[in-house]
Amino acid sequence: MPAAVVARVSRPDWLRNAAGLADLSYWRGTLRPRPVLDWYLGRVEEAVAEAKELCSPDGKLSLIGHSAGGWLARVYMEEFGTSDISLLLTLGTPHLPPPKGVSGVIDQTRGLLYYVEKNCAPAVYTPELRYVCIAGRYIKGARLTGNSITTADEIVAVDTTSEAAEAVMISADNISAPPGPTFRSRFVGQGYKQVCGRADVWGDGVVPEVSAHLEGALNISFDGVYHSPVGSDDEERPWYGSPAILQQWVHHLLS
C-alpha cells in the first residue's frame, strides 16, 4: 500500500502571506511566488523528502493538491523539478487567472496565477508525468441582474484558505423550485466571476469548472461535488475527499 505524507501547513500559516502586502507588486497585481511563498514551498519540499525516504530507490511520487494547493504544486514542480514525480492530481484548483478587463473582477491572487500561467510548464499528460485535474459541478451560478428570489435562504460565512470567498448556503425546505435564478445561485455566481470572469457557469460552489481544468491534462468533472470539507456532508453535500468521491479518483494514484 502506498504511503501518504501531508505537507505540514495549518490555517494560521497562511498569515505569512501578509508579507506580500509590503511588496509593491502586490498592489500592482504582479506578485511573484518567491519570496512570498518560500515558506510554503519549503513545507512541500520537506514532505517530498519524507515521502522519498518511504519509497523504493527508484520509486516515483504523486502530488495531490486541493484548491490553491494545486497551482502551488505546479510552482513547486517548476522550482524544484519533476524528476521524482510521476503524477500531479488537483482537486478543485483554480488553475487559470481571471481574464483582464472584465468589470468588477479583481485577481484574488494579485498576479500569482498570471505568473503560473506564463512561467510554469504546460500540462502534458504523458506516461512519465501525468496531469489529472478534477472539478466539481455542485451548483451553477447566475448573473447578478434582475430580481433574485431570496425565499428563506441564508448566507453562512465559512473560514477558508482558498483564493475565492467561500460560503455555505443553507436553505429552508421549499415546496416547489423557484422559476428563475435564486439568490443562492446569484451569490455563488459572483464568486465564480472573480475566478473566471463569468457568473453563469457550473462549479463546486467556490471554483468554476472551467478554471479547474487544464489544457493537456486528463480533465474530469464530478456531479454534485462541493469544494471544501468545511460545510460538506458525505451524503447530501460530498466534497472531493468524501469516501464515495475518493473511490472515483484514487485509482489514478495506484496505476
pLDDT in tens, 225-234: 999 998 888 8
Give the pLDDT confidence score for residue 10 in this predicted structure: 79
pLDDT for residue 161: 39
Quick one: angle between helices 112-119 and 68-80, nearest 10?
A: 50
Answer for the pair 184, 139: CB distance below 8 angstroms, yes or no: yes
Top pLDDT among 158 and 65 is at 65
Q: Judge whether residue 149 has pLDDT over 50.
A: no
Q: Using one digit for the tens of pLDDT, what is the confidence trace for 65-97?
A: 999 999 999 999 999 999 999 999 999 999 999
The confidence score (pLDDT) of residue 146 equals: 57
**Residue 144 maps to a domain:** yes
**Backbone φ and ψ of 156, nearest 5°:** -120, 115
145 found inside a domain = yes
The model carries a pTM of: 0.82
What was the pLDDT predicted at 24? 82
Q: Each residue of 186-198: pLDDT tens digit?
A: 999 999 999 999 9
- Dmax over CA atoms of the chain, in Å, equals 62
Q: How many domains does the chain have?
A: 1
154, pLDDT greater than 60: no
Q: What is the mean pLDDT of the chain?
A: 85
Dist. CA 205–CA 226, nearest whole Å: 6
Residue 16 in domain: yes
Asked whether the predicted pLDDT for residue 244 surpasses 80, the reply is yes
Supply 24's cell numbers.
Answer: 509593491
Predicted pLDDT of residue 159: 36
The predicted model gives 38-42 an average pLDDT of 92
209 within a domain of the structure (yes/no) = yes
Residue 71 forms part of a structural domain:
yes
pLDDT band at 246 (very low <50, low <70, confident <90, very high): very high
State the Cα–Cα distance between residues 7 and 205, nearest whole angstrom: 25
Q: Decide: 203 and 164 in contact? Cβ < 8 Å.
A: no
Within-domain flag for 202? yes
Asked whether residue 4 is domain-assigned, the answer is: no
- Residue 112 has a pLDDT of 95
- Say whether pLDDT at 14 is over 50: yes
Residue 6, in any domain of the structure: no
Query: What is the domain extent for residue 16?
Result: 11-254
108-112, 125-129, 162-166, 217-221 — most confident range: 217-221
pLDDT of the residue at 180: 74
The three-class DSSP label of residue 10 is coil
